[in-house]
Amino acid sequence: MGDYLVAAEPHRSLVLQVYDERYLDIEGIEEEIAREEILSASVAGVTSDPTELTTISTLIRDMRILLCKARGTISRGKLTPRIDWMPSRTNSKVTRLLVDDLRGSLPPLGLRDIKIGTVDNESQFSIPAEALDGRITVITGRKESGKSHLAKMLLRGLLAQRAYSIVFDLNDEYGAVGQRKDGSSTDASAMVRVMRPGRDMKFSLATIGLRSISNLLSHSLEMPGTSLREFVKIWEQLDNRDELTLATLESAIHQWRCNEFVRDALFARYHTLVSCGLFTDSEEKQFDLRDFFTLNPDGGALVVSLGGISPMNRRMVVELILSKVVELLEHRKVPPIFLFAEEAHLYLRETYWEDLITRMRHFGVFTVFVTNQPDAIDQKIYRQVDNIFLYNFSNDSDLALISQASTADADTVRAIVRTLPPRMCLLLGYAVRNLPVVVSVDPFDSPASGTTRRFFEETEQVAA
């Protein structure tokens, strides 16, 4: 399913995509079946069939009808989206159209190929890195279908093209993206930097800046407006004197003239900032996002390991990084980046979603969302998504949601996705120019990871 056919007439041909298959049902076929069953089962002696009627009727009974959607017209070797005509039933010739040939009838989107798998059983399939550039991509499917696997292939592909990426890594599985299965390094290994917030990733107040901090205070720490205003004044005073540290902030709050409620609110947030362990006054320990770019002049991946971190700290780190990235991009201090966000609903506030796909994309943050819960992403957002990699979903409500949300017609998505075997995905959208393609994703030469811990396997290993 998902294969392409072409109904060719002398001057033009209609491109069709198979989305479902069923038995041919013609008037009277049931009666025919019933008659044959009775004949073969009960009437001894009727064995000769001189005109071989049974074979013909078996053939007819086994005939399948392929349900197709028209996808466009090829004329003079060029594909256009026209589907406003019907090929002749008698004079047109229906043949298989290989994805390679289909793509050959369109000018390429780019030259920086990222190989991801095969199509039509044997031919290699790549998407151009340009198809992710400036775009929003979603990878979704049920658990263990191969989503992270594909995300890692895209990430390695981007590294090979010397691009910059930031990964919000929930299961601590992206750190090894530069390595081969046997543990040896690829060219990309040195470009991958794994950081653990609170451990080797700590920020100084000064580099984070007022804007990020006040965003954090008002959104993540729900600081009321009045206290926030006082906080901003204290901050600015310290900043003007070039004395912005956690220590000076504490004493400034002590000495600040304000009412006790406000002071309490200021202290409460101050203590949260200190105790979360994300900030430091130490020059050597602090992390400046710009260093990531200057230390990796040929592209790189910053893997933010969110595994063992409290939900609160996750949100804070993600917000700090995003607002810093946007600030740097706004001032054109860093090149555009790709963002890989696994299960983003676990650490991304509601308001950030739209921000990511509109404002942040505009500045140069191009997100790849990876999730096994398609309903965690709002319908509004799906409509803005450029590329969707869809793995299998068997659950009806997930299917309904995803078929409505994607750019292709609901019939195709529903029928194809329901029957997709593991490691195969349906690619929709810009990268394939809205001609949905079923891709069998390649294995990836990287250490196995992201696997769920298993009780029995582990006890066996201990025993052995």
Ligand X SMILES: Nc1ncnc2c1ncn2[C@@H]1O[C@H](COP(=O)(O)OP(=O)(O)OP(=O)(O)O)[C@@H](O)[C@H]1O
Residue ranges in contact with ligand X by CB under 6 A: 141, 143-149, 372, 423, 441-443, 448, 450-451
Q: Are 132 and 158 in contact (CB under 8 A)?
A: yes
Q: How far is the CB of 376 from ligand X (least distance, A)?
A: 12
Q: Which does 299 bind (CB under 5 to 8 A by kind): ligand X, Mg ion, none?
A: none
145 binds, among Mg ion, ligand X, none (CB under 5 to 8 A by kind): ligand X
How long, in residues, is the chain? 464
To Mg ion, the closest distance from the beta carbon of 151 in angstroms equals 8
Distance from CA of residue 202 to its chain's centroid?
Answer: 28
436 binds, among Mg ion, ligand X, none (CB under 5 to 8 A by kind): none
Q: In terms of CB distance, is 148 or 313 closer to Mg ion?
A: 148
- Nearer CB in complex with Mg ion: 157/450: 450
Q: Which is nearer to ligand X, 18 or 153 (CB)?
A: 153
CB atoms near residue 100 (< 10 Å):
13
- Closer by beta carbon to ligand X, 363 or else 444: 444
Q: Which amino acid is at 243?
A: E
Say which entry of ligand X, Mg ion, none residue 433 contacts (CB below 5 to 8 A, set by partner kind): none
* Cβ closest to Mg ion, residue 174 vs residue 430: 174
Report the run of H or E that residue 399 belongs to, with start and end. helix 396-405
* 206/140 Cα distance (integer angstroms): 38
Residue 324 binds: one of Mg ion, ligand X, none (C-beta under 5 to 8 A by kind): none
Residue 392 contact among Mg ion, ligand X, none, beta carbon within 5 to 8 Å by kind: none
Q: Which is nearer to ligand X, 120 or 130 (CB)?
A: 120
CA–CA gap between residue 306 and residue 201 (Å, rounded): 11
Least distance from C-beta 423 to ligand X, angstroms?
4
Q: In what order do the strands lie in the sheet with 13-23?
A: 78-80, 64-75, 13-23, 4-8, 93-97
Q: State how far the Cα of 347 lies from the Cα of 170, in Å rounded to an integer.
A: 10
Residue nearest to ligand X (CB): 146
Of 323, 316, 321, 374, the C-alpha closest to 345 is 374
65 binds, among ligand X, Mg ion, none (CB under 5 to 8 A by kind): none
Amino acid at 78: K
Least Cβ distance, residue 368 to ligand X (angstroms): 13
Closer residue to Mg ion in complex, CB, 373/394 = 373
Residue 149 binds: one of ligand X, Mg ion, none (C-beta under 5 to 8 A by kind): ligand X
Of the candidates 427, 342, 423, the one whose C-alpha atom is nearest the C-alpha of residue 377 is 342
| 8 A C-beta contact, residue 134 and residue 335 | no
Q: Which of 175, 177, 167, 191 lies closest to 296, judged by CA?
A: 191
Q: Which is nearer to ligand X, 413 or 441 (CB)?
A: 441
Smallest separation, CB 339 to ligand X (Å): 17
Per the CB < 8 A criterion, the answer to whether 355 and 339 are in contact is: no
- 401/390 Cα distance (integer angstroms): 12
How far, in Å, CA of 312 to CA of 197, rounded?
A: 12
Q: How far apart are CA 332 and CA 330, in angstroms?
A: 5
Q: Which residues bind Mg ion (CB under 5 A)?
A: 148, 450
